[in-house]
Each structure stands twice: as C-alpha cells, then as structure tokens.
Amino acid sequence: MEGLLRQPQWRVIDQSVIGSHFHALQSFGTDDTLCASVGAGQAPATARTWVHHNTIVLGIQDTKLPFLQEGIQYLHNQGYQSIVRNSGGLAVVLDEGVLNISLIFPEAEKGIDINRGYEAMWQLIQQMFADFPQQIEAREIVGSYCPGSYDLSIGGKKFAGISQRRLKKGVAVQIYLCVNGSGSNRAELIREFYAIAKQAETTKFTFPEIVPDVMASLSELYQTNFSIADVMVRLLNQLKKNSDLLYAGQLNEFELELLPGYYQRVVERNEQVKKP
C-alpha cells in the first residue's frame, strides 16, 4: 500500500478550473489515454484533477433502467447533462463542488491487485485530512448513491466514492470528493432519477434505495468551508511527500496522438448505450 502511492515522480495534470469548458466525455477519454501512456512507459505516474459542472455520470447498469429516457429527461429539466462512464459503478453527481482525482499507475509485472488500488486512494485521502481528528472509514454506506465497499465516510456519512479503470498495463484509480455544497441534495436528485427511470418495474439488477441523509460534503462534515483550491493544495502537498519530483504537466506528444481515438470510443459507447 505504501509503495503504490510512493512514486519516483508524480506528474500533475490539473483540469479543475476549466469545468465549464470541458465535457465529461473528454475526461474519460483522457484517463484511458493516460492509462495507455503510463502503462507503456511513455509517462510517469500521473495525478489528474478535474471538475465538471452539472453532470450526472451513469454506470453501464443504469442504462438497463426500463424508463431511462424519462429519467434522463428529468435530469435535463433540472439543468444536468448525463453521460455513461467506462468504469464500474452507478450514477453519481458532478458539479462545481465536486473534485475528481485520477491516479494513474503503471501496472508492474506482478500486477496491481484491485484492492491495493483502492487502499492507495483511501490512504491518500486520509493523509490529506490528517490534521482533523475525525476518522475516515472505507466501507459500503447503504442508502448512498453508487454504493461500494470503498465508500469513504465520516460518522456514517459518505463524501466520496472510488472506481478503477484498467487498460494497456495502466491502472486509473478515480475518486469523486464532495468538497462543498449539500451531499443530501445531490443524493435527492439521484433518488428522484431512479424513481422516474425505474418506477414500479421489476429489474434484473438491484438499484440502490437512496437515503439522502447518509451523504454529506467534506465542508459539512468538517464544518469548514473548503474550496476546490483548498483541497488541491492538500493533494499537492501529499503527492510531494510521496515522490522525489512533483511537477505540473500536460499531455505529451505520445498522448496527444492517442487521445482522439480514445475519446471517439467513449463518444461511440455513449451513443450506443443511451439509444432509446
């Protein structure tokens, strides 16, 4: 666990301030590109940060909802666009108060065990907020949206979820952090989406029964008015401690050549799975 976070170099690609000009589909195409690049040894371990405005990211299972189009229309009426991601999980809310962090590691010859990836991200978040006394737990929070065994919570209230994407010997461990705003209001939005998109139909897959009160933001939990920039400083400080060299970077030439292809795959996948 310690060894995974510790890297000779950490390249940071910060896209947290361009959310209104950056479509979420581009984010998932970018992470796939970085997986291929880092996995091929064309770039060092990379941390990418990103924020998207009013976007609901659906999981593949969500596309099986019997009244999906009605659910998507509801989200649209509330001012949210929707996309389908290429990593696991179910629907999550992204907005200007949610910071996403992707850690892209090269997969060693023995491979990176899936739990080891989750543990590394959990460890990073614990380090980032070590100056607060509250314990950050990793366990499933029943009643949250996109529940999983590595939901991050304080006092039983979830503020983050982690997913992974593996491609071309690269591993992207992705987390969304609800930094500020109302966690329960975000959960209420997803609860209503499922109520409309599922209705009373029996479905093969079990969708979560969302209880908005089990979700909160870091600002609510720590009673501190965090901004995205505040959390970025904490992230950079920890990455610096876990490397010999921390530097800000952009996509290199190898990655710029790969990006259009991976982005197109994400676009085509969305067109396919979201067809009425």
Q: Whole-angstrom Cα distance, residue 55 to residue 220?
A: 22
Side-chain-side CA neighbours of residue 105 (13 Å): 24
Q: Return all residues near 214 (Cβ < 8 A) that are at least 6 apart.
A: 141, 142, 143, 144, 156, 157, 158, 187
Residue ranges making up the domain that contains 32 = 2-273
Amino acid letter at 133? Answer: P
Active site residues: 146
Each of the 276 residues of the chain gets a pLDDT tens digit; together they read 457 899 999 999 999 988 667 788 999 999 999 999 999 999 999 999 999 999 999 998 899 999 999 999 999 999 999 999 866 679 999 999 999 999 999 987 567 778 889 999 999 999 999 999 999 999 999 999 999 999 999 999 999 999 988 888 999 999 999 999 999 999 999 999 999 999 988 888 889 999 999 999 999 999 999 999 999 999 999 999 999 999 999 999 999 999 999 999 989 888 876 666
Q: How far apart are CA 247 and CA 42, in angstroms?
A: 16
Residue 1: its pLDDT value, please?
41
Q: For position 234, what pLDDT does the model report?
A: 98
State the Cα angle at 236 between 107 and 164, rounded to 5°.
Answer: 35
Structure tokens, 21: 């000009």
The domain total for the chain is 1
Tokens 């006092």 correspond to 155
d(CA 60, CA 31): 18
- The pair of structure tokens assigned to 173 is 């461990």
What CATH number should be reported for the domain holding residue 129?
Answer: 3.30.930.10
Q: Which residues of 214-225 are buried (b: 16+ CB within 10 A; e: fewer)?
A: bbbbbbbbbeee
In the numeric block, the tokens 């067109």 are attached to 271
pLDDT at 276: 60
Beta bridge partners of 13: 48
Cβ-proximal residues to 18 (8 Å cutoff; 6+ apart), any chain: none
Q: Identify whether the C-beta of residue 106 lies closer than 8 Å to the C-beta of residue 170.
A: yes
Q: Which residues pair with 45 in a beta bridge?
A: none
Up-side HSE of residue 90: CA atoms within 13 Å toward CB?
Answer: 22
Query: Strand 7-15 and strand 243-248: pairing?
Result: parallel
